[in-house]
Chain A
Amino acid sequence: MSQVERQQWDVVVVGAGGAGLRAAIEAREQGARTAVICKSLFGKAHTVMAEGGIAASMGNVNSGDNWQVHFRDTLRGGKFLNQWRMAELHAREAPDRVWELETWGALFDRTKDGRISQRNFGGHEYPRLAHVGDRTGLELIRTLQQKIVALQQEDKREFGNYEARLKVFQECTVTRVLKDESASGDGRVTGAFCYERESGRFFVIEAPSVVLATGGIGKSFKVTSNSWEYTGDGHALALLAGAPLLNMEFVQFHPTGMVWPPSVKGILVTESVRGDGGVLRNSEGKRFMFDYIPDVFKEKYAESEAEGDRWYEDPDHNRRPPELLPRDEVARAINAEVKAGRGSPHGGVFLDVSTRMPAEVIRRRLPSMYHQFKELADVDITAEAMEVGPTCHYVMGGIAVESDTAAARGVPGLFAAGEVAGGMHGSNRLGGNSLSDLLVFGRRAGLYAARHAAAPDAARSVDEAQVDTAAAEALRPFSAEGPRDGTVPENPYTLHQELQQTMNDLVGIIRREGEMAEALERLADLRQRARRAGVEGHRQFNPGWHLALDLRNMLLVSECVARAALERTESRGGHTREDHPGMNRDWRRVNLLCRLAEPADDSPTAGRPDVRAEPAAGSAAPVGGLAAAEPARGRIALTRVTTDPIRPDLLALFDKEELVKYLAEEELFE
C-alpha cells in the first residue's frame, strides 16, 4: 500500500480562493517553495462569487474614513464578539492590500478623479467598498491568479521551469493533515495526504507548514449561496489534527438570495442592490425595515423613508436607510415578515431597484444581477421587483488562530486564513469585510508559514503508518459494508440531501433548543449511515466517491454548529434563539471552542460530551486518528474560554453609552 508518491515543499496551501492565493504569493515571495492544492480548476474558487466589493478605508469617496472607523463598524457588526486584534489588523492593513492589487493589474471602477471608487454597504459608515461592478470577487481571483502566473514566469526565466518554486495542484483534495506523532515529537505538522480527482491517485506532500484556506461550510445547508466546494474541509482537517474551532454557532444567512425558481433558490443577490438604492418591501408594499431597527442601532439609521432617500445624495446631514443594517438584522426581518404572512408569492419579500433608478444605470452598476435574473428567472430587474429571502452564506466560526500570525492554536506548523479561520468577524460579518479578510490574513498566513518552514528544525518527513491509515480511510467507500444484516450501501447523494435538510430545518436562521437536540440525534444517525456510504465505479473522476469523502467533513462541522448553537443561550449576530431572544452581555466574553472528543469519550454509550468550564491545556488536545471517522453518539466536545479584554485605546473609539449596551458589568468596571 505504501507506494504513495511523496513530494517535498516548504509550504502547502490548501485552497485557491482569495486567502489561499494571497498566502501562496506571500510565501513564495518570502522564498518558500510553495504548493497550492485546490479541489477545482485554478481560478474557479468560490471567491469569484463575491459581488459587492472589498472593504478598505482608503477614504477615496469620503475622506472622513480611516481604519479606526472601519474597526468600529466591524466590531458593531460582529456585536463585539470579534477577536479585536484581528479586527484591528484587518482595518489597518486592508487599504495596502487593495492598492497592491492594482500593481498586479487589477482594474477597479474609478472615481471622477481617477482613484478607486468606493460604494456604500450594510454596516459601513462611509462608502468603503472597492469594486468592479458586481463582479469584484472575479476581479480579485483573476488578479491573484495572474500574479501567480507572473511569479511562475519569473521562475521560468530563472530556472527554466514554471513550477520551480510555486505550483498549483488543481483538482486535488486533501483528506488529512499529517503530523509528527512520535513520542519525542511535539505534534507538529509534517505534510498533507491528497488525492487527484482526475485519476484517483494518492500522493503525499511533505512540508513543515500547512495553510488551510478552504472557505466555508454552506453545503451542509439546503438553501445556500455556496458552491459545492464548501464542505467544511479545512474546518474538519483542523479538528482531526487536534486544533480547536471557535464559535461555530455563528452562521450568516445573507438576507437576499433568490427564492424562485426552486433550482436557483439560494443564489446570491448582492447587497450592492441595496447599497446603490434598492429597497425591501413586503406584500403590502411597505418598506418594512423601518420597523426592525434594533435599539443598539437606533441613532444611526433613518426614521423615515424621506430621510433615508436623502442620505444617498447627502450623507452628512441624513442617516442611512435601514435596508443597510448589518445582514443578520435584515435576514431576521425578512424571515419575520414572511412568517407574518406578508411575504411574496414564492415565500420571500420584494427587493426593488426598478422604481429607484433608470434602467440603464441598473444595467451598468448591477450587470450580473440583471443577467442572472433575466437568464434564470425571466425577471427584468429594471422593470419589476426581485423576490428574495435568506440564504446560508458564510460561517463566522472557524479555526481558532493567533491574531497576528494566523497560526492555528495548539498545532505547530498549521495556519488558517479566510473564511475557514474564526474570530475576525465576531458573531456577524459585514459585507465587504470578507474579501479584505482574505487578503490581510492570507498574506499574514503565508508570511508566518514561510518563516515557520525556514526554521532550522522544521519537520520534514511523514510517517509511513499515517500514510497507510489515510489511504485506507479514503478507499473505504469502495468497500462499504455490504448487505450483511440486511443493510445496503447508502447512497452518498441521499445522505447529503438529508444532512442539508436537517441543518436547514433544525439549525437554520431561527433556532430552538428542542430542534437542535433533534438535529444532533439525526446527525448521529447520519454518521452511522455515512459509514456505509458506498460508491460505484472506479477512482477516476468519480463524483460519488468525492462526495462520500466530503461527507465526513460536513458531518463533523455540522455537529460543531449544532452543539455550539445549543450551548449559547442568547441571540447575537448569526445566532438567533427563539427561546433566548435577547443579547446577553455576560455571553460577550464567552467563546465556545469545539474539539474532537477524546477517543475514550467515544463509546456509543457516552452521552452528550461534557462541556468543560475551563479551557483545556494547549497541547492536551486530542488527536484524531482513523477513529475519528468511526460512528459515535458525539464526536465534538465544547470548551468555554474567555476572551482577552479589548485594548483601552480601541475601546476609547466608542462612546460610553454604546459600550454599556455590549460589555459585561465587570468589563465596564475595569
Chain B
Amino acid sequence: MSTRTPSETASDQGPAERPDAAGEGSEANGSAYDARFRVWRGDVDGGDLRDFTVRVNDGEVVLDIIHRLQATQAPDLAVRWNCKAGKCGSCSAEINGRPRLMCMTRMSVFGRDDVITVTPLRAFPVVRDLVTDVGFNYEKAREVPSFVPPEDLGPGEYRMMQEDVDRSQEFRKCIECFLCQDTCHVVRDHEENKTAFAGPRFLMRVAELDMHPLDAAAASGLDRKSTAQEEHGLGYCNITKCCSEVCPEGIHITDNALIPLKERAVDRKYDPLVWLGNKIRRRPT
C-alpha cells in the first residue's frame, strides 16, 4: 500500500518531476499554467483526496492531466482509458461531482484558479483510485434476452427502411461509459435496488430491441415490453432525465427509449384488447 500523506504535492516526489517530459510542453504556447487537482486515491479499504499541482497546456483535457500525474508524480495512479477520443467510454469518472468522460472534458471549461476534483464513479465499488468495479453492468447486459432473428429470412435477405432503423440506431450509439448507470438515482445511493433494476443503459437496450424492425422476439413468445416492466425494473424509473443529461453521446435516453417503453408497457398491461389480442395471436400454431 502507498503510504503517502494526503497533503502530498509534487515537491514530495523524486527526480521524476518533469512536467514537460519529451518536449511535450514546448509547443510554445504562452498559456500553460499550473492547475490544482484533488484526486481520490485508495482502494476497497478506503482512501482520500490527494492534492496535486500539475502543468496544463493549451487545449488539454482532464485525461491529459491525469496522464501527466502518472508520468511525473504518481506512476501507480490507477485509471482506465483507451481511445482518448470519446468513442470507447472507458475513462468515466466524476469531475467536481459530475459524471463525465475525462477525455472529453476540456480544461478550458474550468477557471485557472479552480480546484478540480476527480473521483471514481460513485455507484460502483472502488477497485483502486479512479477505477471501479463495473461488473454490475455486465451482469445486467446478460439478463436482457438477445436479438431474435426472424426464422424466414436468411443472411442477405434483411430489408429495412432507414426511417425504421433510425430509432434503434440512436440507442446503438451508446459507448457503454455507464455514466447514466452511475448517475441514476434509483441505484446511485440505493445498493438494494441493483438486483431488480437494469438501469437506463439496459432498459434502453430493451427498447432498442423492441423497436428493431425485424426482431422476432414476439413470435418466439417473448414480450419485451412486459419484461421491461417485470424483469428489468422499468417501474423504478420516474423520468427525471438525469441519465440523458450526462450521456456523452447525447442520446435521448428518457424521451426516446424509456418513456415510449413505459407507454408501451402500460398499453400491454392495462389494455384488455391488447391483452386479448395477445392471447389469441400467441396460440401455438
Contacts and interface: CB of A to CB of B under 8 A. Distances in A.
Contacts of B86: 368, 371-372, 375-376
9 A-B pairs closest in CB distance:
A261-B59, A105-B147, A537-B76, A497-B22, A544-B75, A114-B159, A150-B146, A99-B155, A493-B71
Contact of A493 (B70, B138, B156): B70
Interface stretch (A62-70, A131-139, A515-523, A562-570): A131-139
User: Among B71, B75, B162, B173, which residue has the most Cβ atoms of chain A within 10 A?
Assistant: B75
Nearest to B68: A493
A372 B87 CA distance: 10
A372 B72 CA distance: 28
User: Among A42, A105, A107, A488, which residue has the most Cβ atoms of chain B within 10 A?
Assistant: A107
A201 interface: no
A667 interface: no
Interface in A222-238: 222, 227-229
Interface stretch (B127-135, B252-260, B263-271, B277-285): B127-135
Contacts of B77: 543
19 contacts: A40-B82, A99-B158, A103-B158, A107-B172, A156-B142, A227-B84, A227-B88, A228-B81, A262-B57, A263-B61, A264-B84, A264-B85, A267-B84, A267-B85, A494-B18, A500-B22, A501-B23, A535-B75, A541-B129
A222 B24 CA distance: 10
Contact of A497 (B2, B71, B173): B71
Interface in A158-209: 162, 198
Contacts of A135: 87, 173
Contacts of A100: 155
Interface in B91-140: 104, 106, 127-129, 131, 134, 138
Contacts of B64: 263
A227 B149 CA distance: 34
A535 B78 CA distance: 13
B90 A44 contact: yes
Contact of A49 (B16, B87, B149): B87
Interface residues of B, number: 71
B76 A544 contact: yes
A105 B155 CA distance: 11
B212 A48 contact: no
A110 B165 contact: yes
Contacts of A544: 70, 75-76
Contacts of B15: 488
A42 B88 contact: no
B54 interface: no
B76 A545 contact: yes
Interface string A362-400: 000000100110011100000000000000000000000
Contacts of A275: none
A113 interface: yes
Contacts of B273: none
A133 B170 CA distance: 11
Interface string A536-580: 111011111100000000000000000000000000000000000
A543 B78 contact: yes
Nearest to B176: A43
A493 B21 contact: yes
A155 to B, nearest CB: 11
A482 to B, nearest CB: 13
Chain B facing A: main interface SS = loop
Contacts of B27: 262
A544 B128 CA distance: 14
Contacts of A103: 149, 153-155, 158
A263 B59 contact: yes
A426 interface: no
A268 interface: yes
User: Among A135, A268, A500, which residue has the most Cβ atoms of chain B within 10 A?
Assistant: A135
A198 B138 CA distance: 16
B138 A42 contact: yes
Given A228-B82, A261-B58, A541-B129, A48 B175 contact: yes
A114 B161 CA distance: 5
B141 A372 contact: no
B76 A95 contact: no
A622 to B, nearest CB: 34
User: Among A267, A488, A492, which residue has the most Cβ atoms of chain B within 10 A?
Assistant: A267
B141 A48 contact: no
A654 interface: no
A104 interface: yes
B22 A498 contact: yes
Interface size class of A (residues with CB under 8 A): 35 or more
A142 B175 CA distance: 9
Given A96-B155, A263-B57, A376-B104, A229 B82 contact: yes
Interface in B47-73: 57-61, 64, 70-72
Contact of B172 (A139, A501, A536): A139
B91 to A, nearest CB: 10
B83 A541 contact: no
B5 interface: no
A227 B83 CA distance: 5
Contacts of B83: 46, 48-49, 227
A540 B212 contact: no
A132 B169 contact: yes
Given A135-B173, A376-B104, A44 B76 contact: no
A153 B142 contact: yes
Nearest to B158: A102
Nearest to B139: A162
Contact of A543 (B43, B79, B127, B159): B79
User: Among A48, A109, A153, which residue has the most Cβ atoms of chain B within 10 A?
Assistant: A48
B89 interface: yes
A138 B57 CA distance: 31
A260 interface: yes
A305 B176 CA distance: 43
Contact of B16 (A42, A110, A376, A491): A491
Interface string A40-72: 111111101100000000100000000000000
B168 interface: yes
Contact of B70 (A110, A146, A368, A543): A543
Contacts of B89: 44
A608 interface: no
A110 B160 contact: yes
A152 interface: yes
A105 B212 contact: yes
A107 B87 CA distance: 18
A49 B88 contact: yes
A86 B172 CA distance: 32
Nearest to B107: A263
A40 B90 contact: yes
B172 A375 contact: no
Contacts of A58: 156
A149 interface: yes
Nearest to B89: A44
A468 B86 CA distance: 40
A115 interface: yes
Given A263-B61, A493-B75, A540-B128, A142 B87 contact: no
Nearest to A226: B83
A494 B59 contact: no
Contacts of A115: 159
A233 to B, nearest CB: 14
Nearest to A490: B16
Contacts of A267: 84-85
A492 B77 CA distance: 14
Contacts of A262: 24, 27, 57-60
B168 to A, nearest CB: 6
B142 A152 contact: yes
A156 B145 CA distance: 12
Interface string B16-31: 1010011110010000
Given A102-B158, A541-B78, A138 B175 contact: yes
B21 A375 contact: no
A105 B146 contact: yes
Contact of B59 (A43, A377, A488, A498): A377
